[in-house]
Chain A
Amino acid sequence: MLRRNPDVLVQILDDEALLLLPTSDGVLHLNRTATAFWELLEEPQPLEDVARQLAKEFQVPADAVLADLRPLVENLVQHEAIRRT
């Protein structure tokens, strides 16, 4: 299960998210696809479920979306923007 860190501050500008990270006070800029992923995590859910929803939205194979999401998830987990539970 993936869930957002509630301490992250977020602003969306032109469909792209800017995240203020709570631990480092650094800033992360998400492109539109990554922002769509972030928005789907409004409710905690497994990565595979998010991938399926994005695949449907962008009309691409779920396996390809899943492969693309893995490095994004690692990056967000590393920056403590999301958590695995």
Chain B
Amino acid sequence: MTSQLGVRLLDSEFLLRGTAGELAELSALTGRCDVGADAIDVDVTGDALDQTLALLNMTAVAQCRSFAVHAAAVLVGATAVALPAESGSGKSTMAAALVREGCQYLSDEALVLDWDTGDVRPYPKWFSLSPWSAEQVGLTPGHGAESFFTVEQLGGAPAGAARLGAVVMLDRRTGPPSLEALSRAEAARLLLMMSFNHYQQPRRAFALVTQVVAGCQAWRLGVDDPRAAARLLVERIGS
């Protein structure tokens, strides 16, 4: 018997159809809500959980009506911190480690900035963590290549809209964590290069990013142990 689940992610609504068991597993990660008649209809019957979640995330980011950057983001105290980086560079692990250090969660996937105000829109999607990453933040990984967790499972909470206050470039290296000043021009370049949709309105994106970054701190964070790096970042930015 087919059941239905309404899900909203950023500017996209989905109506998922599948078995009760499949939808229960999904809703534990995505939440559920009422959706309109224009919701995207997706039959997930028989699909693997990771494939469905990847489809939902990719669609939500692609259809986002705000400026979106491939980045993790958290709230350190009152400061929204973005960690722009490519896939596989440790964004989700750092976001999870920062939540473990008491930061509120904005996203492990996309820094979303309102085109008009520059405010950060939360995209607090489920965490996708490799077994190594899950262990680093004290979670028990599942059997697959990735395990999925909610921010609540990490002992944290989602943040509301915020102003961006810092851009942090991740630098994987061995040894103790380090934090070095980064030029704001380099931070702005990084946000633009990591953007999902800068190409749609390049001049507007350029103006938005340079304006927002002009009011930000910018750092290069040397990361070996994610928890140690998270503690250092919270100490420096939260103080």
Contacts and interface: CB of A to CB of B under 8 A. Distances in A.
Interface in A1-33: 9, 11-14, 16-18, 20, 25, 27, 29-30
Contact of B185 (A17, A20, A25): A17
Contacts of A18: 185, 188-189, 206, 210
Interface string B76-91: 0000000000000000
B210 A11 contact: yes
B199 interface: yes
Contacts of A16: 183-186
Given A27-B193, A27-B206, A14 B185 contact: yes
A13 B213 contact: yes
B176 interface: no
Contacts of B203: 9, 20
Contacts of A13: 183-185, 188, 210, 213-214
B192 A27 contact: yes
B202 interface: yes
B186 A29 contact: yes
A20 B148 CA distance: 38
Nearest to A12: B185
Interface string B180-214: 00011110110011000011001100110010011
Contacts of B202: 20, 25
Contacts of A20: 202-203, 206
A25 B193 CA distance: 10
A25 B199 contact: yes
Nearest to B201: A25
A18 B183 CA distance: 11
Interface in B206-228: 206-207, 210, 213-214
A47 B201 CA distance: 34
Given A9-B206, A20-B203, A27-B206, A14 B192 contact: no
Given A11-B206, A18-B210, A20-B206, A29 B198 contact: no
Given A18-B206, A27-B188, A27-B192, 8 more contacts: A11-B210, A12-B185, A13-B188, A17-B185, A20-B202, A20-B203, A25-B198, A27-B206
Nearest 5 pairs between A and B by C-beta?
A: A16-B185, A11-B210, A25-B202, A13-B184, A13-B185
Interface of B: 183-186, 188-189, 192-193, 198-199, 202-203, 206-207, 210, 213-214
29 contacts: A9-B203, A9-B206, A11-B185, A11-B188, A11-B206, A11-B207, A11-B210, A13-B184, A13-B185, A13-B210, A13-B213, A14-B183, A14-B185, A16-B185, A16-B186, A17-B185, A18-B206, A18-B210, A20-B202, A20-B203, A20-B206, A25-B202, A27-B188, A27-B192, A27-B206, A29-B183, A29-B185, A29-B186, A29-B189
